[in-house]
Chains A and B, each alone.
Chain A
Amino acid sequence: MQSSDSSRSYRVAADVGGTFTDIVAFDAASGQTFFGKTLTTPGQLVDGIVTGVDKAGASIESARLFLHGSTIAINTVLERSGARTALLTTRGFRDIYEIGRINRPQAYNLFFKKHQPLIKRSLRFEVNERMNARGEVTEALDEAQLVALAAQLRELGIESVAILFFHSYMNPAHEIRARELMEEHCPGVFVSASHELSKEYREFERTSTVAANAYIGPRIKTYLGEIQDRFRKERFDGSFFVVQSNGGLFDVARAQRECIRMLESGPAAGVIGAQVVCDRLGLRNAIAFDMGGTTAKAGVVLNREVMMAGSIMVGGYAEGLPIQIPLIDTQEVGTGGGSIARIEEGGGLRVGPQSAGASPGPVCYNLGGTEPTVTDANLILGRLSADNFLGGEMKLNQAEATQALRNRIAEPMKISLTQAANGIIRIAATTMSNVVTRVTTERGLDAGNFAMVAYGGAGPLHASIVARELSIPQVIIPPSPGHFSAYGMLMADLRWDFVRTWFKPVNLLDFGEFIGIYADLEAQGVRILQRDIDSKRIVCSRAADMRYVGQEHPVTVELPASFFAKPDRIALKQLFDDEHMKRYAFNAPKEPAEIVSLHSSVVGALDKPEAKRLTAPARGRKPVAKPARRKVYFTEDAGFVNTPVYARQNLVAGQRIAGPALVEEYASTTVVFPGDKLEVSKHGDLVITIGRS
């Protein structure tokens, strides 16, 4: 990929979602970026990718680099359409996967449900072996038993095997040997061991992680293989990388083994895109806000770095399955354009979590939806256009939407139609602002110190309202917000994150050993990455999870290079005390602290496409394109206001627009409120300064 064959000048990213496949192609030769959107083809996902690339005006053959993210991993778990999988685990513990953490978040719901394991009880097998918490073998691995088990698994038609042994994060020897034996005696079967995915303690979470990886493994392996085959036929001769949930890329061979890492590739890529937007605008801190049809998500860029988390619950907190891998910290709420507004039994007005989704969709889609949604409310207030939706490809039915809202909300509540529509949007906005709060204030960060990069089809419609809720001063709408995750993929780097559990009190810390572990992790990372990139372009960073002795939940403390120049315990403790104060508003400098795990990130920086600059208007001349106008409702006081509607493709760099205004583009509309001021950046970002209100 270092070759710069000019005939293969494209860098192509494909984001395959449940409904749409988004393509962004960047041509390094011309500096042009092309976009394609096509319906996802569930049977043969690769067809959708090829069609989308065509639609963008590029070709697979012309690609030097192909970057891919997909919802296939998460959907395989949620739809339970994975392989027939067996679990091998330490004797005495085949039920820990089913017992889980025993919690009951819906504390007053007698009809609560527990998580459902992906592997049923009769396919969970116990193996004679044991390590203690120091990683010492207390019972040797029973290899004869494993060989016999392998025969049984073949008999049972098992396609995939997950291995979880206790304390493998301290010493993976038994898992490694068991894996070898399975591969030897069950040829063709997918085998996955927990330490390959997570080197952190917590046996249930590790079990759930390795089980999910094994469960989705065969399907993902085949899927990625099919793309490779098809691409070979299309004479693709470049590099193929997959986006991980940590926002970094990994090579397709590894993605076929550690499939679970691509779980959140789409949302992660969106946050990476937001980080790139921040960099080009010189912003240090931003909230990445993504709103689509059914959900809104938020992530954080802090000091130019993306904030990470250590695990996620797939399928929601109450009944979900935990996956313990490094991933970009995003929070999600079930509020989107399709969220339904209802009057609840007690008389309150609720928006969501029920969603009309894409089908039947909002009432105005005319696809059979009868309950008013957030999108209907936007149409009624004039913020969406009945004629320009999806570039005019889909005509919206305003009369039906109005009737539904009037009959179901406005009249029963004895409020006006516009009050109802405005109320629905405000309620949706506060729900979404709470999800932003979860990634900021709950982490000791003040949302008021952040800019907000808003994307997703519905993000630009609501960003200004959400920003007002949280006193966020600035909103940025990047170009093509509806393709933003694919754009983020285009901007991702090769990346490998390691976390290793290592319990050590700070006052007993031996820096030789401490630095030795980092060096070891970094060497591993460099080994993986240097196959695809010049080692000079690899950068490593270090952090440690720390807590006060006695606490359970650690905070992650970034350890800058300056710390390692002259490492000492007092400085380390000080870094931790400061971080704890920042995050929780108190600390205990006199109390002893300990290290729980070490984090190492190894990043190989790829060349980034330089965003094409918009042409600036000639000096002293007004922009040519005159905006259309329509009546739009912003506030109760002002009612409907005659508002200019700009077409985004006609905007020029440096152009300024004072709210109220709308900016329409193919898959999205940006709402600029009265008092807001918009300026078009040289890269085409809409930079909105939120007015005080």
Chain B
Amino acid sequence: MRENRQPIRALLILTALTVGIITLFMSLNVRGQWDFILTFRGTKVLTMALVGYAIAVSTVLFQTVSHNRILTPSIMGFDQLYILIQTSLVFTIGSAGLTALDPRLLFAFNVGAMVVFSTALYRWLFSGSSRSLHLLVLVGIVFGVLFRSLSSFMQRIIDPNEFVVLQDRLFANFNTIDSNLLGIAVATILIASFFGWRLMHVYDVLALGREASINLGLDHGRIVTVILMLVAVLVSVSTALVGPVTFFGLLVANLAYGIAGTHKHRFVLPVATLLAVICLIGGQLILERVFAFDTALSIVIEFVGGIVFLALLIRGVAR
């Protein structure tokens, strides 16, 4: 049973690593009040775990549904939509107005807009024929370009000072998290995960392809729509919480397939989640201790993720 031992061993090692890195993150260089430090860092750890989970699970599920290991939800115009929403907000009500807004309201607005957009897109496209997933991805890319053009247009004409405020919002940031938002985010993701968990047995079948899964009795169109909505909720919550991290999902999902050595989702999903949490917390640790906050975590992740993306593309071409 060579294929059964590897994923379990991978899971154990990764769990140990995760616990280790969280302990390190919580205890390194503590000066002053422990209870303050623990709450302060605990919030960060919780945020990163949540974001890691959301991105890992959403990317793996998205890749299962699209039968493609290079696509991620971000390619569907998600990140660009987030940037467009932020830009429009700064453009219309200004950075002062934005700061005055209730953050919970803003969060709900961000999540709502992204879920509505993606669900509308899927609904519209999935009423068509079987090849529409490719169409969906293409439309996603086109929408992404459209959103980006609109955003850069608005960014050109706003006040340079406003632009600086805006730019700050467009990089993933784990340092300034509102704990009220965190609570809402945790609740939303728990609810989405509950539905996702109940579909656990479906994912492996879905990976066989559309025709094979219909043959095995799945209501393919409906299940794909449900999964894409779950993905939309997960990605929206994580993006609205910390900002866009485009290549991160791609990085952890592909590492997870390799490390787990199997495609069974009950192994791949937790492995991807643990990897994501380790990467985020480890990255943040390096950011805080080595670079002394001089850069943003997303820059580190995008750099590594971009290289992996290129490597995947080149290997795919070579094969």
Q: Do A and B come from one complex?
A: no
Q: Which residues of B contact A (CB under 8 A)?
A: none
